């Protein structure tokens, strides 16, 4: 232990003497470590975002919509744009399918809205939905106060609204929001229920939504809408069967022939997980390739520094041997030096990669979260590179002849 | 430990040959002598006569081509690299003409180095190094780097480094070669003092005056011992004729 500390101390003092050269040569190592940390932070961030987005769906729920909710790889967007909209009739027709329990037909405006009271207003960030009572199970809503929409709200065309907790807090601070009036595009709605708080995921609140009965939605927004259909299978295990039934039925209703592709997309927790895994594998492969290349370049840089260092310090090595250093002392000294060098590059790279991920998150709202394992992995990789590429120079140092070594200038 | 009276060093028909471009250079060509504990011996001879080669072999830095070398009653030939390193660490203190201090280390750091390889704990190492530096009169230069010291001071650091592990002998290869005569004189006085304290010293020198001050001197020529006797006699400065080998 003592000996290792001594070796480390010696290594650090030599590296300190060559800071600039060390940093320049370490660029490859820095890039390698930074790549691992940054890419894995983005992957991890996306994973967290997706899993919370989809955990929002109730158990056994899945979605059908015109637009892909997320898409990786090339898609023909013009073709997607030409898809006919999903209609309420198509949605209603899915109710009779054997493995479907609930059908939540949801209309969304193209932009976020704002809600107002005579005294206050929310920001322009409210996700308004024109829905049905089935919205509740399909979206895993938990009622905190009051009630969710009911069938009579729809039948009587009531102007009522079920809101997220943030809206209640903003418009009615310190008051009970239930029974109060809020306005949407000037149209008054009565608050009948408030959802339990879901909190924020990566800085975005999940409590800024408002659900109104769809007839009321149509009166406010007219025909301007995107239609989503959220469905709940008879049980979570029945989701695949339910999806098959829904796809077959929609294809028939939308007049697709056998060779046409689906002109709609569907998502369940499973398909999103699968999609995410594909993406993560792609990112991991790209990261692996970049990182391997960078570490190779960095490793060669380290080998170069160390070879130069061995040459410059040939006399020192001879003197150390004359004073009683064994070959393995010299070997260890140079290995510790190259690992220390490489690790300091790795540490710097971790900082750069982490800073990159976090600033992308802050500036561009890219989901990112730095996983500890990625930090450890990149440190491990850089240390290994230092070790591997340090072996040859260290061996060369340890095999020097002391008399010859002391004679060099 | 060798028995009392048994020589510290015994070499018998020691050879060290180099092959350069197919030609054999006999740097040592059958050298035999013994040195007892506490002796101060000068090694003299012309340039190229084999003095440094002999010192390297005696210092276990180099292995002879043939012949025997017994140090402290034990055969040196046939030892592994690690065993030789350990011998150098414990039994031998080197002093070189060019000092051979590590430029980045302080005086203290340089002197502690042999103890690092002996595995002496840091605190003890420091105490021993301070003591050795005090013994060469450098108490107030502990944290100076070599380039902040004069030549004489550097050589004192090197001598402290050679002494710190309490070796059986000091091997000094022209320790005054890079010093002016006044400073060289100081270093020689230091050796003389060490000799009086009981250290065994082998000193390679070009200067007959210096060799004359040693109780004993060995003259090499073309890898042979050509004279071995009282320092003044071998140096050719005394009245008595040199003893032929
Ligand atoms: N590594 C080597 N390879 C080949 N020949 C060598 C080597 N080292 C020494 N020699 C030769 O061995 C002979 C003795 O050299 P050595 O260095 O021992 O002389 P020296 O007495 O120390 O001389 P000086 O007083 O100049 O230091 C010389 O002829 C030298 O050329
Ligand atoms: Mg010489």
Q: A136-166 pLDDT, tens per residue?
A: 988 888 899 999 999 999 999 899 999 999 9
Backbone phi, psi, residue A282, to 5°: -60, -45
Q: What percent of chain B has pLDDT over 70?
A: 94
* Domain assignment present for B16: no
Residue B149 is assigned to a structural domain of this protein: yes
Rounded Cα distance between A242 and A244, Å, is 5
Please choose, from the candidates A303, A296, A295, A238, the residue with its C-alpha nearest in 3D space to the C-alpha of residue A268.
A238
Residue A402 to chain B, least CA–CA distance (Å):
6
Distance, in Å, from the CA atom of A319 to the CA atom of B59, rounded to the nearest integer, reads 13
Residue A252: pLDDT above 60? yes
Residue in A with minimal Cα distance to B88 = A324
Hey, is B118 helix, strand or coil?
A: helix
Long-range own/partner contacts, residues A174-181 (CB < 8 A, 24 or more apart):
A176/A145, A177/A145, A178/A145, A178/A146, A180/A117, A181/A117
The answer to whether the CB atoms of B81 and A326 lie below 8 A apart is: yes
| Residue contact B104–A13, C-beta within 8 A | yes
Closest partner CB to A316 (pick from B102, B119, B161): B102
The pLDDT assigned to B176 comes to 92
The pTM score is 0.72
Residue B218 lies in a domain: yes
Confidence category of residue A1, pLDDT binned at 50, 70, 90: very low
Residue B240 covered by a domain? no
B90 close contact with A: CB closer than 8 A: yes
Q: How many CA atoms lie within 13 A of A357 on its CB side?
A: 28
| pLDDT score at A8 | 67
* Confidence label for B26 from pLDDT (cuts 50, 70 and 90): very high
Contact A139, A232 (CB under 8 A): no
Count other C-beta atoms under 10 Å from residue B58's C-beta.
Answer: 22
Confidence band, pLDDT 50/70/90 cuts, at residue A63: confident
CATH number at residue B221: 3.40.50.300
Supply the pLDDT for residue B243. Answer: 53
CA distance A317 to A105: 79
Q: What is the pLDDT of residues B60-81, one digit of tens each?
A: 999 999 999 999 989 998 899 9
pLDDT for A50 beyond 60: yes
Query: In a 10 Å sphere around its CB, with 0-12 CB exposed, 13-18 middle and 19+ buried, how is residue A173 labelled?
Result: exposed
Domain assignment of residue B52, yes or no: yes
Is residue B176 in some structural domain? Answer: yes
A403: which residues sit within 8 A by CB, 6+ positions away? A318, B56, B61, B62
On whether the CB atoms of residues B43 and B52 are closer than 8 A, the answer is no
**Contact between residue A302 and residue A390 where contact means Cβ atoms under 8 Å apart:** yes
Average pLDDT, chain A: 86
Q: What is the pLDDT of residue A2?
A: 52
Q: Is residue B1 scored above 60 in pLDDT?
A: no
DSSP secondary structure code for residue A95 in this structure: G
Of A6-20, A23-37, B109-123, the range with the highest mean pLDDT is B109-123
Q: Tell me, what's the pLDDT at B97? A: 92
Q: Which domain does B56 fall in, by range?
A: 39-62+85-234
Q: Classify strands A200-201 and A204-205 as parallel, antiparallel or unpaired.
A: antiparallel
Q: Which residues contact A276 (CB under 8 A, 6 or more apart)?
A: A46, A47, A50
Which residue is listed with tokens 């040592």? B28
Q: What is the pLDDT of residues A92-141, one digit of tens each?
A: 999 999 999 999 999 999 889 999 999 999 999 899 999 999 999 888 88
The reply to whether ligand 1 has any atom less than 6 angstroms from the CB of B48 is: yes
For B190-223, the pLDDT digits (tens) are: 999 999 999 999 999 988 889 999 999 999 999 9
Q: What number is the average pLDDT over the span A380-406?
A: 95
Residue B76 lies in a domain: no
Cα–Cα nearest to A192, from A179, A182, A201: A179
Mean pLDDT (whole number) for A368-388:
92
- Three-state SS at A339: helix
Task: Find the mean pLDDT for residues B154-158.
Answer: 95
How many structural domains compose chain B?
1
- Whether residue B77 is contained in a domain is answered as no
pLDDT at residue B244 is higher than 70: no
Which residues in chain B touch residue A321, judged by CB atoms under 8 angstroms apart? Answer: 61, 85, 88
Minimal-distance CA residue to ligand 1 atom 26: B47
DSSP-derived secondary structure for B186-243 = HHHHHHHHHHHTT-EEEEE-S-HHHHHTSSEEEEEETTEEEEEEEHHHHHT-SSSPPP
């Amino acid at each position: 232990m003592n000996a290792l500390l001594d070796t480390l101390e010696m290594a650090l003092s030599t590296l300190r003497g060559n800071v600039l050269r060390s940093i320049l040569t370490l660029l490859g190592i820095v890039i390698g470590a930074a790549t691992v940390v940054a890419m894995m932070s983005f992957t991890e961030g996306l994973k967290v975002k997706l899993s919370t987005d989809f955990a929002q769906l109730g158990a056994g729920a899945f979605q059908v919509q015109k637009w892909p909710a997320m898409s990786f790889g090339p898609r023909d967007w013009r073709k997607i744009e030409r898809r006919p909209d999903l209609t309420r009739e198509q949605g209603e027709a899915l109710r009779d399918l054997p493995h479907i329990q609930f059908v939540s037909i949801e209309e969304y405006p193209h932009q976020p809205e704002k809600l107002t009271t005579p005294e206050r207003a929310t920001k322009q960030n409210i996700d308004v939905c024109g829905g049905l009572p089935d919205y509740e199970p399909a979206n895993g809503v938990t009622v905190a106060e009051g009630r969710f929409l009911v069938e009579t709200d729809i039948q009587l065309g009531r102007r009522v609204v079920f809101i997220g907790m943030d809206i209640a807090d903003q418009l009615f601070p310190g008051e009970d929001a239930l029974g109060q009036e809020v306005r949407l595009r000037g149209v008054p709605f009565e608050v009948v229920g408030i959802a339990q708080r879901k909190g924020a995921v990566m800085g975005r609140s999940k409590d800024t939504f408002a659900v109104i009965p769809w007839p009321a939605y149509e009166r406010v927004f007219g025909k301007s809408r995107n239609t989503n259909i959220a469905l709940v299978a008879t049980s979570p295990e029945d989701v695949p069967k339910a999806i098959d039934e829904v796809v077959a039925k929609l294809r028939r209703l939308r007049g697709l022939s056998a060779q046409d592709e689906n002109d709609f997309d569907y998502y369940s927790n499973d398909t999103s997980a699968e999609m995410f895994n594909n993406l993560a594998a792609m990112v991991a492969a790209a990261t692996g390739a970049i990182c391997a290349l960078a570490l190779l370049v960095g490793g060669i840089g380290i080998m170069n520094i160390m070879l130069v260092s061995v040459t410059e310090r040939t006399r020192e090595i001879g003197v150390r041997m004359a004073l009683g250093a064994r070959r393995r002392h010299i070997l260890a000294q140079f290995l510790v030096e190259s690992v220390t060098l490489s690790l300091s590059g790795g540490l710097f790279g971790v900082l750069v990669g982490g800073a990159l991920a976090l600033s992308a998150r802050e500036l561009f709202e890219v989901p990112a979260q730095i996983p500890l394992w990625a930090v450890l992995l990149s440190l491990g990789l850089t240390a290994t590179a230092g070790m591997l590429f340090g072996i040859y120079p260290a061996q060369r140092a340890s095999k020097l002849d002391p008399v010859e070594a002391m004679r060099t200038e | 430990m060798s028995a009392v009276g048994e020589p510290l060093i015994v070499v018998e028909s020691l050879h060290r040959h180099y092959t350069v471009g197919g030609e054999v250079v006999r740097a040592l060509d059958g050298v035999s002598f013994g040195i007892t504990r506490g002796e101060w011996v000068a090694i003299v001879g012309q340039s190229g006569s084999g003095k440094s080669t002999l010192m390297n072999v005696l210092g276990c830095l180099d292995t002879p081509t043939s012949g025997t070398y017994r140090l402290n009653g034990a055969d040196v030939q046939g030892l592994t690299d690690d065993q030789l390193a350990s011998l150098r660490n414990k039994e031998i203190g080197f002093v070189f003409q060019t000092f051979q201090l590590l430029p980045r280390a302080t005086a203290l750091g340089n002197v502690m180095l042999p103890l690092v390889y002996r595995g002496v704990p840091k605190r003890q190492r420091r105490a021993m190094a301070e003591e050795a530096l005090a013994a060469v009169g450098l108490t107030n230069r502990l944290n100076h780097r070599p380039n902040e010291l004069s030549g004489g001071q550097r050589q004192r650091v090197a001598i402290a480094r050679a002494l710190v592990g309490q070796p059986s002998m000091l091997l000094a290869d022209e320790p005054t070669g890079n010093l002016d005569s006044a400073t060289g004189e100081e270093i020689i006085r230091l050796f003389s003092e060490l000799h009086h304290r009981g250290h065994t010293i082998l000193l390679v020198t070009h200067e007959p005056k210096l060799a004359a001050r040693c109780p004993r001197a060995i003259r090499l020529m073309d890898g042979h011992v050509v004279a071995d006797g009282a320092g003044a006699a071998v140096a050719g400065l005394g009245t008595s004729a040199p003893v032929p080998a």
